[in-house]
Every structure is written in C-alpha cells, then in structure tokens.
Amino acid sequence: MALTGIQIYKLLPQTNCKECGYPTCLAFAMKLSAKQVELSACPYVTPEAKTQLAESAAPPIRLIMLKSNGYEAKAGNEVVLFRHEKTFYNKPGLFIRVYDNQPADAIKAKVSAVDAYAVNYVGMDLTVDGFVVASSSGDPNAFATAVGAVRAASKRPIILMSRDASVIAAGLKALQGETPLIYGADGKNWESFADLAKQNKAALGVIAASLAEMAEMTEKIKAKGVEDLVIDPGGRDLASGLALGTTIRRLAVKKNFRALGFPVIAFPGDAGDPAIESVRAAQAITKYAGFIVLDNFSPETIYPLLVLRQNIYTDPQKPIQVQPGIYEINAPKPTDPVLVTTNFSITYFSVANEVEGSGLPAWLMVTDAEGMSVLTAWAAGKFDAERIAKAVKGFNIADKVTRKRIVLPGHVAVLSGELEAELPDWEIRVGPREAVDLPAFMKQAL
C-alpha cells in the first residue's frame, strides 16, 4: 500500500539537513510519495524505516532488464500515465520474431539484416533491441537449433516463446549467463515456468485471459520467488489493446496495484499484415507496452516506429541538443558564409541537412540556446545579439574566415541592428525563415 507524504515524513529523520537536495524532510517526503526521487537520496534513513518505505518508494511498474553479451533491453520503472506529467523512462523494446520451423540459414539471414540495421536520427543511432524465437514445431531440438542460429547472427537479447517448459529449457541451454525473457506461463504450466525462470534467472512472461486472472497469477508466481514478470493481458486488436494497456497503467500508477505493476508485452506481429502490424505497434509504443514483438522487418516499417518511440521517450523538459560550436559543411573556405542557428537538435539537423544536400559550403555556428528552437529561444531571451556575438568571439570564427559575413535566421531579423552594433566589423545578413529555403538564398543572395 502506498504511503502518503505525511506518513513517509514521519519515518524520515526530520533533521532538515538538506543533503537529499531538498530544503526539508517534508519536501523530500512529498517528492518520494510522488515517486519523483529515490529513497537512496537520503543517507540517514534507518534500516527499519527503509523496510517500511521500500514498498512505497518502489516504482509502480517493476523494472525488467533483459541482458546478453553487453546489450540490454529495459522496460518498466514508469511513474506517470502521460508523458507531459514528467517523462517516460524506458523505451519499449522492439523485438523481431523468427520461428523454429524456418531453416537455420533463413533465420541467420533475417537476424543478420535486422542486427545490422541502424538509422541515424538527430545524432542518435536507432536500432531494434532483440529477437524472439517462437516454437512452432514443438520440438526442443528444433527450438535449440533456432536459438543457436539467432545467437550466431546477433548478440542482442532474446525472448523464448513456447508454452512447453521442456522446449523453453532447451532454448535456455544456449543462453547461459544471459537474462532472457521466457514466455509464457499460463494457468496450466505456471509452476514449471516459474521454476525455470528461477533456476535460470530469466524474466517470466505471464499470460491470462482477464486482468483479474492476471493479478491472481502474478501473486501466485511472486509467492514462488519470481518477481521479474512481464504480462500479456491479450488485447490483440486496437480497441482492446488500448483499453487493457490503459487500465493496467492506470491501476499500477494511480492505485499502486502491485499485482499488475509489470511491463506489458504486445504482439502486433500476430496481425500478419505488415500494415496492420505497424499501426498496432505504433499504438503499443504510445499506450503502454514494454516489449513489442514484430514479425515483419523492413526499413520502411521499422524506421517510423523507431522515430515515434524516440520522440515519445524523450524528456519533454529537456530538449534534445547538439553541442554548440562551429560545424563545417561541404568543406568551407575562408570566403564562405557563416550561418547561425541554435542548438535544438531538430533545428540544427534541418539547417545542416538542407545546406549539406545543396552541396554549398558554409560554416554553421551553433549557439547555446539551452536546446530551444530559434523563435522559442528568442522569445525566452536565450538567442539574442549579445549571445550570438559572444559565440562569434568564443568560437574564434574570425580566425577561420577572411570575409566576415554572418547570416541570421529570418525569424530573428529583428536582431540584425543590434548584432551590427555588437559586431561592427561583420556584414550582417538576414536569411530565410525556413531551412528549406536556405539553398536558394545562398545561391542567389550570397
């Protein structure tokens, strides 16, 4: 049962020493009850109080970590229903499924292609997280061979999928020292699956036909000493997937209902049709899967899912930023212009990509605007003539160019007069408002 802020306060030392970063123990207690801080931030909690607080301080959705050979896929630890309330922490893992009735060479070929796929998006490499090996043969040897084929082609984490414990046990032998997810325990096999999970330190997928049944199952499995659970509540179509995902998240986060406080595994791949699979996967990313199993893989379908996932799982309070500095585009010479923008990554990549694509050389000066876009930064006083002039001097751009020409984004044309005053020996030009118009402007006006 979750404790209130006042109940937590009564268990704290009440010395207001501030070492936790908060001015009073009460302020820390309130943050703890909102699950916005870790209990470990207070070094003075007594062991007795720690025991009492541990349950309350634990995140409402358990963190599950699949590990293998230096890779890990994490899900859970979420504390809010909506991203704008705080942030979402752990991106749902995207796993590509292969079947044990496929030839080993075909499995290796598919897995190698998926494993090698990476797309650079605003300076980050986006990739899938791992693979699912599903038993369709029911044969432990065929299953072990398929697991071996996946492991030969990729080191990423694996989910083993069969309702037969002897099949799963055969797959686990090929994954010694790893932390896979075994899927799954149902009303009939749960005891043997719980034993397997415990012996192999694997996470356990739990399958139930209703939320009431799921809550009962997770409690029984926890009583056997297996805590790392992932739940499959069904809901393969859009409507039921949304309803179940939302109900589970709401019960876990708002009611602290521990029996459903686990990441959900979703199976958009069961749709068969790649287009329907993509739509269901997009819904699973937003509402509220922890692991997502896909059958189809192509750059066209995986790219939008990776980008959607990245955008949903960025901290809304911390814009994605690039390092302020001077970026050389298309090998600029000292006579080429200096373009100015802010360090909001999407702004930077919009400008850089347009100029790079045009083949025109330029020096791109990225100023520190605390990760805001041009207009937002200007409105917030983070992108003004003084800051731009300071960046020009700080980055010593005058040492790189012989023709001192600086191009302001058109949205902040209003700064040109002040910038002339700040940089009297520079020619101040006003460029277009949109990055897409930069190439034409550079050809015609510079």
In the complex, which residues of this chain contact ligand SF4 (CB under 6 A)? 12-13, 15-20, 22, 25, 28, 42, 44
Query: Nearest approach, Cβ of 32 to ligand SF4 (angstroms)?
Result: 8
Give me the least distance between CB of 41 and ligand SF4, in Å please.
Answer: 7
Single-letter amino acid code for the residue at 115: D
Contact 277, 268 (CB under 8 A): yes
Q: Which phi and psi angles does 96 have, rounded to 5°?
A: -100, 135
Min dist CB 148 to ligand SF4, Å, is 51
Please report how close the Cβ of residue 56 comes to ligand SF4 at its closest, in angstroms: 14
Strand ranges in 257-375 using DSSP code E only, listed in sequence order: 264-266, 289-294, 325-329, 338-342, 362-367
Closer residue to ligand SF4 in complex, CB, 8/339? 8
Pairwise CA distance, residues 282 & 84, whole Å: 19
Of 29 and 211, CB closest to ligand SF4:
29
Residue with tokens 């075994």: 182
Closest distance of CB 58 from ligand SF4, Å = 18
Q: Which is nearer to ligand SF4, 17 or 380 (CB)?
A: 17
Taking the least distance from each CB to ligand SF4, the nearer of 16 and 247 is 16
Residue 368 has a CB neighbour count (10 Å cut-off) of 18
Closer to ligand SF4 by Cβ: residue 20 or 202: 20
Provide the CA 131 distance to its chain's centre, in angstroms: 18
Q: How far is the CB of 51 from ligand SF4 (least distance, A)?
A: 16
Alpha carbons 394 and 104: distance in angstroms, whole number: 58
Asked if 134 contacts 99 with a C-beta cutoff of 8 angstroms, the reply is yes
Alpha helices (H) in 83-227, listed in sequence order:
104-116, 140-153, 165-173, 190-200, 211-223
Q: Which amino acid is at 200?
A: N
Q: Give 53 or 388: the residue with its C-beta nearer to ligand SF4.
A: 53
